[in-house]
Amino acid sequence: MATIRSQGCTIWRKDTEVSPNAYAQIGQVISIDGPQGSAATIDVTHLSSTGREFVAALPDWGTVSLSVIWDPVLASAQHDELWDDFNAGNTRTYQIRLSNSPQTELTFSAYPTEHPISIQIDSFVGATITLKTTGAVALT
């Protein structure tokens, strides 16, 4: 039975402000949830139908949430970039790279919709960043 370990999976953000464009790894990620794909249904039942008939609507890949040990200065320039993207509403390309070999990649466009910071006793400063996908998710 084949399994893909979560340890070693990473998420990368494409930086379009450097030439050539390159992906940079988002550091200190604790967990990645999503993409959360779903598709609505379109009712195409007509008067000659013998039962309800449906076709699939366009998929909505939902959101991707990243829990991180947040450090906008030292850990990763990507934390600072995600903060800037949230404030500006920037859509970027992301890749989730799994730990298998050959490596499976999920590539998608998204923009940050939530960036709450968590500060608790006896813990680290964290953030759970929610990315809203737009368009399709490519699996390669």
For 34-68, write each residue's pLDDT tens digit: 899 999 999 999 999 999 999 999 999 999 999 99
pLDDT category at 76 given cuts 50, 70, 90 is low
Cβ–Cβ < 8 Å for 128, 98: no
Q: What's the pLDDT score for residue 72?
A: 72
Please check whether the domain covering 10-139 is classified as CATH 4.10.410.40.
yes
pLDDT at 75 over 60: no
Instruction: Give kind and range of the element (H or E) at residue 111.
Output: strand 105-114
42-72 in b/e form (b: 16+ CB < 10 A) is eeeeeeeeeeeeeeeeeeebbbbbbbbbbbb
pLDDT over 70 percentage in the chain? 96
Place of tokens 């910071």: 117
- CA triple 7-30-26, angle to 5 deg: 90
